[in-house]
């Protein structure tokens, strides 16, 4: 049996369904999956991942984990020693974001297919010139295959590694658990009025949701500054962060229908998706966010910043929502007004188009099967 190693930072709930599915499909081709984690968690993450959710082989390696100006600098000598064993055939290096990932390409055995996963885009990337760009170029040069989440990641590679156009690309979008955001949200929506009452929301209120950490790069204050008090919707901001008081006081001072709910569990988040009329994500930078994928799966029209890393993958402008430039208040306001002016028929079409986009681009079974077939083709060649 061949072996597939996948190096990434920490276990997360959203990765569990992807790795469980990947493990199952790889076994159909006589390949075993082993995930190498650099840490159990990181300071800005509060997820609890139950032991019973791991349906694949994995190891969490000990190491040194300093936080330097918000940068989680994992260094795992044990993981690097693991790569020196010649018992695997494929390895995915999950990015270039810390010392373990910087060093991993140089410890991979020569016979193994070396795949580098890229989720960053030029809007979210730091150090796009100088020594930082040179290091990225050197690391990108070590890859035999690039694994990308979408179109903007391809542009990122071409920017730093101009001769990398002939390196094969395989696509693996960030994926979500469809049973939650397709089936469960749809079932909750059948009792939309009851769910609204449970959440203390007026049954006649038009609900827009913005699930995000309340930090500057999410663009929340810039977005709500373009809302008018007479606008016919209520924006619910779901998440915690340093800007919570600023957002709340700005909304109160300007008499806006904006409420900061704070952190909510996944179960409660699904209820908000089920009652929402529109989804908002106004980020200044966001490498490859999951929330707009969740919104598509839930059948929500989107209002998203054109700086999110999967913008072209989740949005067809004027078809399932509207994009805007977060640096341009006029662009934000236009998108808000376009969404508010949708007729019931247009809104229904937007909703259906989001669902279709999810099924064609982000269906987990389809994406993982295509991903595995692409890897098998590369191995055979």
Please provide the DSSP assignment of 24-42 as one string: HHHHTTTEEEEEEES-S--
How many domains, the chain?
Answer: 2
Residues 272 and 295 in one domain: yes
Nearest in space to 58 (alpha carbons), one of 112, 99, 7, 18: 7
Query: What's the pLDDT score for residue 14?
Result: 85
Average pLDDT over residues 294-305: 98
182 and 169 together in one domain: no
pLDDT tens per residue, range 260-279 = 999 999 999 999 999 999 99
One domain, residues 201 and 301: yes
Please, are residues 288 and 309 in contact by the beta-carbon 8 Å criterion? yes
Domain match, 253 and 291 both: yes
C-beta separation of 67 from 113 below 8 A: no
Task: Say which CATH number the domain at 72 has.
Answer: 3.40.50.2000
202-231 tens-digit pLDDT: 999 999 999 999 999 999 999 999 999 999
Cα 133-157-327 angle, rounded to 5 deg: 80
Containing structural domain, residue 298:
178-361
Q: In terms of domains, do 201 and 274 share one?
A: yes
pLDDT digits (tens, 9 = 90+) for 115-136: 999 998 887 777 777 888 899 9
Residues 182 and 45 in one domain: no
Is-contact 229 256, C-beta < 8 A?
Answer: yes
Instruction: Give the tens place of pLDDT for each residue, 60-91.
Output: 999 999 988 777 899 999 999 999 999 999 99
User: Average pLDDT of 22-35?
Assistant: 98
- CB-based contact 109:83 (threshold 8 Å): yes
Same domain, 159 and 280: no
Q: Which two tokens stand for residue 231?
A: 């606008």
Q: Show Cβ contacts of residue 210 under 8 Å, excluding neighbours closer than 6 positions.
A: 220, 223, 235, 236, 237, 238, 279, 280, 281, 282
Do 319 and 373 lie in a common domain? no
Average pLDDT over residues 239-262: 96
Domain match, 45 and 162 both: yes
CA 296 to chain centre: 13
Percentage of the chain surpassing pLDDT 90?
87
> Beta strand pairing status for 321-324 and 302-305?
parallel
Region for 328 from its dihedrals, namely left if φ exceeds 0, alpha if ψ lies in -120 to 50, beta otherwise? beta
Locus of tokens 């908000």:
272
If asked whether residues 273 and 234 sit together in one domain, one would say yes
Q: Contact 3/31 with Cβ under 8 angstroms?
A: yes
Whether residues 265 and 251 share a domain: the answer is: yes
Same domain for 127 and 213, yes or no, is no
Site of tokens 């910043």? 305
């Amino acid at each position: 049996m061949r072996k597939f190693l996948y190096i990434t930072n920490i276990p997360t709930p959203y990765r569990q369904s992807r790795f469980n599915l990947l493990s199952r499909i790889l076994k159909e081709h006589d390949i075993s999956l082993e995930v190498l984690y650099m840490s159990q968690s990181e300071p800005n993450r509060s997820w609890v991942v139950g032991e019973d959710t791991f349906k694949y082989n994995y190891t969490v390696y000990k190491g040194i984990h300093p936080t330097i100006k918000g940068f989680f600098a994992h260094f795992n000598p044990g993981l690097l020693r693991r790569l020196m064993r010649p018992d695997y055939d494929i390895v995915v290096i999950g990015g270039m974001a810390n010392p373990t990932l910087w060093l991993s390409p140089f410890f991979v055995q020569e016979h193994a297919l070396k795949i580098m996963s890229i989720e960053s885009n030029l809007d979210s990337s730091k150090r796009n010139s100088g020594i930082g760009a040179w290091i990225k170029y050197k690391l990108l040069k070590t890859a035999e295959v690039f694994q990308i989440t979408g179109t903007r990641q391809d542009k990122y590679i071409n920017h730093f590694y101009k001769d990398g156009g002939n390196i094969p690309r395989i696509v693996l979008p960030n994926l979500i658990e469809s049973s939650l955001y397709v089936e469960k949200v749809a079932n909750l929506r059948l009792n939309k009025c009851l769910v609204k009452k449970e959440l203390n929301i007026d049954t006649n209120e038009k609900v827009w949701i913005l699930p995000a950490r309340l930090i500057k790069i999410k663009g929340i204050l810039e977005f709500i500054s373009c809302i008018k008090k007479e606008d016919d919707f209520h924006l619910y901001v779901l998440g915690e962060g340093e800007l919570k008081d600023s957002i709340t006081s700005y909304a109160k001072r300007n008499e806006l229908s904006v409420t900061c709910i704070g952190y909510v569990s996944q179960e409660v988040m699904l209820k908000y998706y089920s009652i929402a009329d529109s989804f908002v994500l106004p980020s200044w930078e966001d490498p490859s966010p999951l929330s707009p994928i969740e919104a598509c799966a839930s059948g929500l029209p989107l209002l998203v910043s054109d700086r999110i890393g999967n913008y072209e993958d989740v949005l067809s402008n004027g078809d399932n929502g509207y994009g805007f430039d977060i640096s341009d208040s006029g662009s934000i306001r236009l998108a808000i007004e376009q969404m508010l002016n949708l007729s019931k028929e247009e809104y229904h079409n937007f909703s259906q188009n989001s669902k279709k986009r999810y099924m064609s681009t982000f269906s987990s079974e389809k994406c993982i099967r295509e991903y595995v077939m692409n890897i098998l083709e590369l191995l055979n060649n």
